[in-house]
Amino acid sequence: MPLAYPSQRVAYPYFVIALLLFVLQVIVGIWLALSYAVTMPQGLVDILPFSTTRAFHTNLLVLWLLLGFMGSTYFMAPEESERDIFSPALAYLQLALLVATGVAALVGFFFGWTKGKPLLEIPFPLDYLVVVGALIFLFNVGMTMLRSKRWTVIQGSLFGGLIFLAVMYLFNLPFYANLSIDWYYWWWVIHLWVEGAWELVAAALTAWILIKITGVPRETVEKWLYVELGLFLFTGIAGTGHHYYWLGAPKYWLWVGGVFSALEPVPILLMLVDAWHYVRNRKGQLNGKLVFTFAVGMAILHFVGAGLWGFAHTLPQINYYTHGSQVTVAHGHIAFFGAYVLLNLMFFYYAMPKLEGLTAFNERRGTLAFWWLSLAMIAMTLAFTIAGVLQTYIERVMGLGYMTAQAQMRFWFAILVALGLMLLIGVVLAVLDLLTLRPAPASESR
Amino acid sequence: MSWKTARWIFYLGTFISLVLFLALTVDTHRQIRALTHADQLSDQVVAGKRVWHKYNCNDCHTILGFGSYYGPDVTKVYWRRGAEGVKAVVRTPEKFTTWRKMPHLPLTEQELGDLVTFLKWTSEIDTQDWPPQDQKFRPAAGRAVALGVGPGASLFQEKGCFACHRMHETGGQLGPDLTHVGSRLSYETIEKVLTDPRSVNPQGAMPPVSLSQEERNELSAFLAKMK
C-alpha cells in the first residue's frame, strides 16, 4: 500500500534510530542491575562509575522516546493536515542535528563532561543545540499544520503538547544557586513532561490510531479527548506538588500535591475505558490486530504503572518513608514502559508496514514480542517493588544503616539481572521484527 | 456529554490548575528564602554546588531524595559524618566501602572544602523532617555541646566521629559507644588512640584522625570527661 503522502517517509529513519537506541538502553540497564547485585572492582569503578552508566541509561531513554514521538508526528501530521510536510529536508537536518548532539553527549559523559543534573545531564552548549533541534521540529510541524485547510483537536493536542514540551525544557537551561529552587524547576521539566506535555502527545497519537483501527467517528474520539486532556492537565499541573513535600518548600504542598496527585489515575482510567468502548463499538473488523493489542496493553499498563504504582506512594504519609527509594524505581520503570514505550511501539507497528510498502504483515513475531516484553517488565516491576519495600522498612522505618538494607535487597537485583536479560530478548525480537516485516500469509491477507 | 461540555472541562480544568500552581509558585519563592536559609547561601556554598554537579555525584547519591539510589542520601550527610568525615570518604572511598564501591574522584582540597560547605548548608534546609532515617543524627551536635564540657564536643561532631560512634543514643554502630568512655579509658589512652588508633588496638578498624595537637587535646579532654 503506498503512503498517503510521500513525505511521511521521513519518519522511517527516526523510527530505526529510536529502536537501536532502545536496545542500547536496555543493555546499559542490565549493567546497572549488575552493579547493584555484584561487587564491581574498584579499578573499574574508577574508570566507569555507576553515575556515568546511569546517565547513559536515562538519556538514551529520553532520546529514543523523543525521536519516536517526532517520527510519529511526521508520519501523522500529513494525514491530519491533508498535505505534505512543509520541508522534508529540514526534518532530516533536524534528525542529524539531534543524533549528533546525543552521540556527543553520551561520549562526553564517559569523559566526565556533564551538567551533573539527573536525567538532564546534557551540558552547555549541547543543551542549546537540543533547543535548536526542537525549534526546527516545531517550525516544520507548525508550518505543515498552519498551511492545512483544516484544524482538528488531535492536531491541537499534539502540537500543543510539543510546544509545552519544548517550553518546559527551557527551565533546565539556567544555573540555580539555591538547591531547593533548582529541584523546584527540575520538576517543571521532568514532571510537566511526563504528566503534562507527553500525555498530550500520547493522547493525540493514541486517539489518531484508535480512529484508524476501529473506525469510530472522529467526533466521538475528539470529544473524549477534550475531557481526558482537561483532566490530565487539571490533576497533572498542580499534581507537580507531590514532588515538593521534602525539598524545602512550604507545608501546603503536602495538601496540594496529595489531593491533586491522588486524582491523577482518573484520566488514565478514562483513557482505558475509552479505548475499550471504541473497540466494542468498532465499525466492522479491526484494522490490525497487533496494533490493537499494543493499544490495549498500553492502556492497561499505563494505568497500572502511572496510576496504581504512582498512587501507591504519592500520599505524603507514605511518601515520607518511600521517597527516594527503589519504590520510585519500580514506579518509574512500569510507568515509562506502560505509557511511552508501548505507545511508541504501537505507533511503529502501525506505521512501519506502510513505510515498508505492506498492506498486511505477519503479526506472529510481533505478538510474541509484545507478550515477552510486557511480562518481563511486569516481573521487573515486582522485583523492584520488593526491593523498595525492603529498603523502606529496613532503612526508613527501622532506621538501620543504608548498606544493611542494601544487603537484604541484593538478591532481588540478581533476579533483576536475569529479568533484564529476558526483557532484552523481547526488545531485540520486536526491533528485528519491525525492521524486517514480512507480508501476511496468503490465508490471512485481505 | 455534549461536545460543548467536553470543551469546557478542558478549558476550566487546565485554567484552575494552572492558576493555582502559578500562584503557589510565587508564594513558594517568597517563603523558600527562610526555609532554606538563603541568607547563608555564600559564594562558597554555590562553589560547592558546582563541585557537586561537576563530579556528577547526583547520579549515584540522592540529595533531597532526588537523583540516583546507588549510594546513601546526602541531604543530611553533614549530620551523620561531619566535615572531616565527608572529606575522608571522598579522599579514600575504599576505606569506607565494602561490597559496593565509590570511585576515587580527583577533587582538589579547595573543591572538597567547598563541597562540605554546600552539604552543611543543605543539611539546614527545612525538609519537614525528611529523611526519617537521619533524624536520629539531628541532635548530635547539640546534645554534645549541651554537655558544656568545652570545644571538644563540637570537634566530636565536626570530625565525623558520629559516623561510627554513638553517644547518648545518637550515632553509628561501627565502633564502640562512647557515652561513658571516660570511665573506661584515661585521658592519656584516649590521646594515644586519637594519635594512632592501631597503637592501642592493633586489630581495630578505626582510621587515623587528622587533628592538630591543640584539637587532639581538646577532644581527649572532652572524651575523658564522658563518665
Q: For residue range B118-168, what is the model confidence (pLDDT) as tens digits? A: 999 999 999 999 999 988 777 554 444 445 456 787 788 777 787 778 887
> Does residue A424 contact residue A381 with C-beta atoms inside 8 Å?
no
In this model, does residue A158 exceed pLDDT 90? yes
The distance of B161 to chain A (nearest Cα, Å) reads: 16
The distance of A46 to chain B (nearest Cα, Å) reads: 4
The distance of B99 to chain A (nearest Cα, Å) reads: 5
How far, in Å, CA of B74 to CA of B57, rounded?
10
Band of pLDDT at residue A380, cut at 50, 70 and 90 = very high
Residues of B with Cβ-Cβ distance to A323 under 8 angstroms: 65, 130-131
Helical axes B77-91 vs B109-123, angle rounded to 10°: 170
Nearest to B49 among A177, A230, A329 (CB): A177
Task: Please give the average per-residue pLDDT across A274-284, as a whole number.
Answer: 83
| Domain count of the fold of chain A | 1
Band of pLDDT at residue A446, cut at 50, 70 and 90 = very low
Band of pLDDT at residue A444, cut at 50, 70 and 90 = low
Contact A51 B68 (CB under 8 A): yes
3-state secondary structure of A308: helix
Contact B55 A52 (CB under 8 A): no
Contact A179 B31 (CB under 8 A): no
Q: How many CB pairs under 8 A join A and B?
A: 212
Which helix (DSSP H) or strand (DSSP E) does residue B171 occupy?
A: strand B170-171
B200-224 in b/e form (b: 16+ CB < 10 A) is eeeeeebeebebeeebbebbbbbbb
Nearest to A230 among B10, B62, B136 (CB): B10
Look at residues B180, B176, B222, B179 and name the one whose alpha carbon lies nearest to residue B200: B176
Domain residue spans of chain B: 1-35, 37-121, 139-224
Cβ under 8 Å to A: B residues 79-138: 94, 98-104, 118, 122, 125-128, 130-133, 136
Task: Please give the average per-residue pLDDT across B64-75, as a whole number.
Answer: 97
Q: Is the bond preceding residue B131 a cis peptide, omega within 30 degrees?
A: yes
Which helix (DSSP H) or strand (DSSP E) does residue B167 occupy?
A: strand B166-167
Nearest to B60 among A51, A186, A240 (CB): A51
Identify the residue among A237, A270, A400, A404 best suited for mutation to test binding to B, counting B beta carbons within 10 A and taking the highest.
A237
Which helix (DSSP H) or strand (DSSP E) does residue A185 occupy?
A: helix A179-192
Pull the grid cell for residue B56.
556528577
Using CA coordinates, name the residue in chain B closest to A52: B59
Q: What is the torsional sign of CA A345, A350, A352, A358?
A: positive
Q: Which amino acid is at B59?
A: D
How far, in Å, CA of B219 to CA of B195, rounded?
11
Contact A249 B6 (CB under 8 A): no
- Topology agreement, domain B37-121 and domain B139-224: yes
The total number of residues shown for chain A amounts to 446
Range list of H helices, A281-401: 289-302, 309-312, 316-322, 326-336, 342-355, 364-391
A283-297, B60-74, B83-97, B184-198: which has the highest mean pLDDT?
Answer: B60-74
Range(s) of the domain holding residue A52: 1-150
For position B149, what pLDDT does the model report? 52
Higher pLDDT, B162 or A365: A365
Q: Which residue has the cell 563518665?
A: B227
Look at residues B130, B136, B118 and name the one whose alpha carbon lies nearest to residue B73: B130
Per the domain annotation, does A77 fall within a domain? yes
Long-range contacts of range B168-173, CB-CB < 8 Å, 24 or more positions apart? B168/B143, B169/B136, B170/B136, B170/B137, B170/B139, B170/B140, B170/B143, B171/B137, B171/B140, B172/A401, B172/B80, B173/A401
Band of pLDDT at residue B211, cut at 50, 70 and 90 = confident
Per the domain annotation, does A326 fall within a domain? no
For position B155, what pLDDT does the model report? 81
Beta bridge partner(s), residue A439: A361
Contact A177 B29 (CB under 8 A): no
In this model, does residue A430 exceed pLDDT 60? yes
The distance of A116 to chain B (nearest Cα, Å) reads: 4
Instruction: For residue range A16-27, list pLDDT tens digits in order.
Output: 999 999 999 999
Question: Given CB atoms, is B172 within the 8 Å cutoff of chain A?
Answer: yes
Look at residues B124, B35, B13, B25 and name the one whose alpha carbon lies nearest to residue B79: B124
Contact B28 A219 (CB under 8 A): no
Contact B132 A50 (CB under 8 A): no
The distance of B153 to chain A (nearest Cα, Å) reads: 24
For position B139, what pLDDT does the model report? 58
For position B83, what pLDDT does the model report? 86
> Does residue B164 contact residue B137 with C-beta atoms inside 8 Å?
no
Residues of B with Cβ-Cβ distance to A251 under 8 angstroms: 128
How far, in Å, CA of A389 to CA of A395, rounded?
10
Higher pLDDT, A327 or B161: A327
Per the domain annotation, does A84 fall within a domain? yes
Q: What percent of chain A has pLDDT over 90?
A: 89
Q: What is the torsional sign of CA B104, B108, B111, B115?
A: positive
Residues of B with Cβ-Cβ distance to A395 under 8 angstroms: 133
Band of pLDDT at residue A74, cut at 50, 70 and 90 = very high
The distance of A393 to chain B (nearest Cα, Å) reads: 10
Look at residues A326, A320, A345 and name the one whose alpha carbon lies nearest to residue A396: A320
Beta bridge partner(s), residue B71: B61
Q: Which residue has the cell 580527583?
A: B106
Beta bridge partner(s), residue B171: B166
Q: Which residue has the cell 560547592?
A: B48
Q: Which amino acid is at B123?
A: S
Pull the grid cell for residue A279.
473497540
Task: Please give the average per-residue pLDDT across B107-111, as a whole number.
Answer: 97
Per the domain annotation, does A3 fall within a domain? yes
Cβ under 8 Å to A: B residues 6-35: 6-7, 9-14, 16-18, 20-21, 24-25, 27-29, 31-32, 35
Task: Please give the average per-residue pLDDT across A175-187, as a whole number.
Answer: 97
Whole-number mean pLDDT of chain A?
94
The distance of B127 to chain A (nearest Cα, Å) reads: 5
CATH number for B37-121 (one of 1.10.486.10, 1.10.760.10, 3.40.50.720, 1.10.3210.10): it is: 1.10.760.10
The distance of A366 to chain B (nearest Cα, Å) reads: 34
Using CA coordinates, name the residue in chain A closest to B77: A402
Task: Please give the average per-residue pLDDT across A249-257, as a whole number.
Answer: 97
Question: Given CB atoms, is B169 within the 8 Å cutoff of chain A?
Answer: no
Nearest to A231 among B13, B21, B59 (CB): B13
Contact A226 B10 (CB under 8 A): yes
Higher pLDDT, A417 or A401: A417
Band of pLDDT at residue A445, cut at 50, 70 and 90 = very low
Strands B62-63 and B170-171: unpaired
DSSP letter assigned to residue A439: B
How far, in Å, CA of A316 to CA of A255, rounded?
8
Band of pLDDT at residue B96, cut at 50, 70 and 90 = confident
- Tell how far CA A237 is from the center of its chain: 18
- 3-state SS of B38-107 is HHHCCHHHHHHHHHHHHCCHHHCEEECCEECCCECCCCCHHHHHHHHHHHHHHHCHHHCCCCCCCCCCCC
Comparing A130-134, A302-306, B11-15, B135-139, the range with the smallest average pLDDT is: B135-139
Q: What is the ipTM of this complex?
A: 0.94
How far, in Å, CA of A73 to CA of A208, rounded?
11
Cβ under 8 Å to A: B residues 127-166: 127-128, 130-133, 136
In this model, does residue A93 exceed pLDDT 50? yes
Instruction: For residue range A195-230, list pLDDT tens digits in order.
Output: 999 999 999 999 999 999 888 899 999 999 999 999
Range list of H helices, A111-176: 126-146, 153-169
Contact B64 A179 (CB under 8 A): yes
Using CA coordinates, name the residue in chain A closest to B80: A401
Nearest to A118 among B14, B31, B66 (CB): B66
Per the domain annotation, does A282 fall within a domain? no
Assigned fold of B139-224: Cytochrome Bc1 Complex; Chain D, domain 2 (1.10.760)
Contact A183 B66 (CB under 8 A): yes
